[in-house]
Chain A
Amino acid sequence: MGNVGAKEIPVLLSPEGLRIDGRRLDELRPLTIQAGALHQADGSAFVEWGANKVLAAVYGPREVHPRHLQQNHKAVIQCRYNMAAFSVDERKRPGLDRRSQEISKVIGEAFESVVFAEEYPRTSIDIYIEVLQANAGTRCAGLVAASVALADAGIPMVDLLPAVAVGKVGGAIALDLKKEEDNFGEADLPMALVPQSGRLVLLQMEGHMTEAELAQALDLGVKGCREIYEKMKQALRERYAIGPMAGASS
């Protein structure tokens, strides 16, 4: 299986089963999460995931703008995903496009299913995701950053939302695609998991997979999400460390 399927350039899967950057099929790219990266926001996080760099800021619950979006029984969740003009090789035309609108929508809806919005009627919880550097999987990186930022902002929710993309490269199911794998691979399947319940609140697919491959991809993705979940919790624990202060008696 591993030796067929690769398109002309590049070779995505070596005969030894290693990927273009030397990872195994079930291996994540290096991930670091910093909770509370910004001062002005109510909550924030900075995520570096492989070559992705994503900043998320959460404001709210606060007054709704524009006012007509206000809901009398719950908070509205407004999400904006944006890519910086310099985030990709070829300059990205700044501003909203169809892709970023779609991603803003699916991320916002993922959070709607975990945030206890009824606790803050007539308010808005605003999530801003800025992609500073992109290398495939930015919607998942954005989701992870935004989720940590929401927890940092003290927003009540069912759980944190780890997210990862699984794909098919060189005929094999692989975790956490990087850019070349995303561009030249056969399929891409981003997902977001609620670890507490095991529910998926975001699931999209591009490309083709058989039913058996899909099942395998979902399993692999859930495993990846649980790994990411631990890093998200670790980032928050570092930010809110309750031990003695360093240098208290210096």
Chain B
Amino acid sequence: MSRGHRPGHRRRGREDSSSHPSGERILVLPGEEIPAHGLKPGPGTYRTGGKVYASVLGLLSSRPPLVQVIPLSGRYIPKPGDVVLGTVTDVQGTFWLLDIGAPRWAPLHMTGTPWKIDVGETERYLHVGDAVTVQVENLDATGRIGVTMLGEGLGKLEGGTIVHVSAARIPRVVGRGGSMVGMITRHTGAQIVVGQNGRIWVNGTPEAIRRVTAVLRLIDENGQRSGLTDRVESYLLSTMPTGPSGPREPPMESAGREGPESSEPSAPPRSPPMLDDEVEPESDEENGTDESGDL
């Protein structure tokens, strides 16, 4: 039995690329035979006995020269250039180990940070449990993940809360050109940073955080369905804090009314002295536009 391509880059596909030539989206399950039509078996498939089968649950995508399955679930598979959120799981003399939701922990070396650190002093900067924004730099054949904290918008995260969704759902969370995350920000006034690994940092009023969390859960559970944007918008409108009768208010107006004040009050507490100011997480727009290249 021969495998198709290794699954390194499976999450490449944009939402719509997972469609059949006919335009119809087809869900396939492991073990189901898929029509190859002479195409090469790509990620998420395997070939045996001259036939091609799906190896993961996902959407069928036939784009010459490959027939592949775009997974709808599963752990985050790192890709160089991705901005991801991680939590520190271990501190060593010269590096930290980060859990970024990938199959392996990612070492963050002290030279990959904006701080000037002496060997053995790593512990003064990041502790186990701290949350950081980093960028995936490289991957080696054994699955080792290299990450860096050097770059705009990268650094330690202070305050706020982190919501987990499936990494496969991130394109939906971001939306076309950042439309979905933009809408959520507009309606809640929350600060949002989206990591490609399915971890999303949210800060704002407790109410804003609660609503954003509920919306993200909704997207996570219905990420492959159509009509999601409408559903999210109607949820956001129906949970407007100021007017319980709010559902019928136009979004722009209400956002204008409560947006500004709810975004300020909980500017994250300043971090310990060694932290640079620019470590402050960049806004969602930043991430949103990053995404759009991939969308």
The interface of chain A, by Cβ under 8 A from chain B, is 42-43, 60-63, 72, 75, 116, 118-123, 151-160, 194-197, 233, 236-237, 240-245, 247-250
User: Could you say which residues of chain B place their CB within 8 Å of the CB of A233?
Assistant: 29
B29, A155: Cβ atoms under 8 Å? no
Which residues of B in the span 217-238 have a Cβ within 8 Å of any Cβ on A?
Answer: 222, 224-228, 230-231, 234
Closest to B144 in A: A122
Closest to A40 in B: B164
User: Could you say which residues of chain A place their CB within 8 Å of the CB of B59?
Assistant: 242
Q: What's the least CB distance linking B149 to chain A, in Å?
A: 21
Closest CB pairs A-B (n = 5):
A154-B74, A159-B31, A248-B227, A61-B103, A156-B55
Flag whether B268 is at the interface (Cβ < 8 A): no
Flag whether B46 is at the interface (Cβ < 8 A): yes
Q: Name the one of A42, A242, A243, A250 contacting B75, with C-beta atoms under 8 angstroms.
A: A42
Q: What's the least CB distance linking A57 to chain B, in Å?
A: 14
In the bound assembly, the distance between CA atoms of A80 and B282 in angstroms comes to 43
> Would A158 and B103 be within 8 Å (CB), given that A122-B142, A245-B225, A247-B231 are in contact?
no
A155, B56: Cβ atoms under 8 Å? yes
Q: Name the one of B46, B74, B224 contacting A155, with C-beta atoms under 8 angstroms.
A: B74
> Would A43 and B225 be within 8 Å (CB), given that A157-B55, A158-B31, A250-B234 are in contact?
no
Flag whether B150 is at the interface (Cβ < 8 A): no
B29, A151: Cβ atoms under 8 Å? yes
User: Could you say which residues of chain B place their CB within 8 Å of the CB of A43?
Assistant: 73
18 interchain pairs, CB-CB under 8 A: A116-B46, A118-B3, A119-B3, A119-B6, A122-B143, A151-B30, A152-B73, A153-B73, A154-B71, A155-B56, A196-B31, A240-B72, A241-B225, A242-B225, A245-B228, A248-B227, A248-B234, A249-B234
B103, A116: Cβ atoms under 8 Å? no
In the bound assembly, the distance between CA atoms of A42 and B168 in angstroms comes to 12
Of B103, B168, B234, chain A has the most CB atoms within 10 Å of the CB of B103
Flag whether B27 is at the interface (Cβ < 8 A): yes
B30, A243: Cβ atoms under 8 Å? no
Which residues of B in the span 1-52 have a Cβ within 8 Å of any Cβ on A?
Answer: 1, 3, 6-7, 25, 27, 29-31, 44, 46, 48
Main secondary structure of the interface of B (DSSP, over half): loop
A61, B75: Cβ atoms under 8 Å? yes
In the bound assembly, the distance between CA atoms of A151 and B27 in angstroms comes to 13
Q: Name the one of A60, A242, A248 contacting B230, with C-beta atoms under 8 angstroms.
A: A248
Q: What's the least CB distance linking B262 to chain A, in Å?
A: 25
Contact with A along B60-78 (1 / 0, CB 8 A): 0000000000011111000
B103, A237: Cβ atoms under 8 Å? no
Q: Name the one of A156, A237, A243, A244 contacting B56, with C-beta atoms under 8 angstroms.
A: A156
In the bound assembly, the distance between CA atoms of A160 and B54 in angstroms comes to 11
In the bound assembly, the distance between CA atoms of A158 and B44 in angstroms comes to 11
Flag whether B57 is at the interface (Cβ < 8 A): yes
Flag whether B96 is at the interface (Cβ < 8 A): no
A123, B103: Cβ atoms under 8 Å? yes
Flag whether B95 is at the interface (Cβ < 8 A): no
User: Could you say which residues of chain B place their CB within 8 Å of the CB of A195?
Assistant: 31
Of B104, B142, B224, B226, chain A has the most CB atoms within 10 Å of the CB of B104
User: Could you say which residues of chain A place their CB within 8 Å of the CB of B104?
Assistant: 62-63, 122-123
User: Could you say which residues of chain B place their CB within 8 Å of the CB of A159?
Assistant: 30-31, 53
User: Could you say which residues of chain B place their CB within 8 Å of the CB of A245?
Assistant: 222, 225-228, 230-231
Flag whether B105 is at the interface (Cβ < 8 A): yes
In the bound assembly, the distance between CA atoms of A159 and B231 in angstroms comes to 34
A237, B75: Cβ atoms under 8 Å? no
Q: Name the one of A62, A122, A156, A240 contacting B30, with C-beta atoms under 8 angstroms.
A: A156
A156, B142: Cβ atoms under 8 Å? no
Q: What's the least CB distance linking B35 to chain A, in Å?
A: 16
A156, B7: Cβ atoms under 8 Å? yes
User: Could you say which residues of chain B place their CB within 8 Å of the CB of A196?
Assistant: 31, 53
Q: What's the least CB distance linking B265 to chain A, in Å?
A: 29
In the bound assembly, the distance between CA atoms of A120 and B3 in angstroms comes to 14
User: Could you say which residues of chain A place their CB within 8 Å of the CB of B75?
Assistant: 42, 60-62, 153-154
Closest to A197 in B: B48
Closest to B218 in A: A245
Q: What's the least CB distance linking B225 to chain A, in Å?
A: 5
> Would A42 and B224 be within 8 Å (CB), given that A121-B142, A157-B30, A233-B29 are in contact?
no
In the bound assembly, the distance between CA atoms of A196 and B54 in angstroms comes to 11
In the bound assembly, the distance between CA atoms of A244 and B224 in angstroms comes to 9
Closest to B49 in A: A197
In the bound assembly, the distance between CA atoms of A234 and B56 in angstroms comes to 15
Q: What's the least CB distance linking A195 to chain B, in Å?
A: 6
In the bound assembly, the distance between CA atoms of A185 and B142 in angstroms comes to 51
Q: What's the least CB distance linking A96 to chain B, in Å?
A: 27
Q: What's the least CB distance linking A134 to chain B, in Å?
A: 28
User: Could you say which residues of chain B place their CB within 8 Å of the CB of A248?
Assistant: 227-228, 230-231, 234
User: Could you say which residues of chain B place their CB within 8 Å of the CB of A158?
Assistant: 1, 30-31, 46, 53, 55
In the bound assembly, the distance between CA atoms of A242 and B25 in angstroms comes to 8
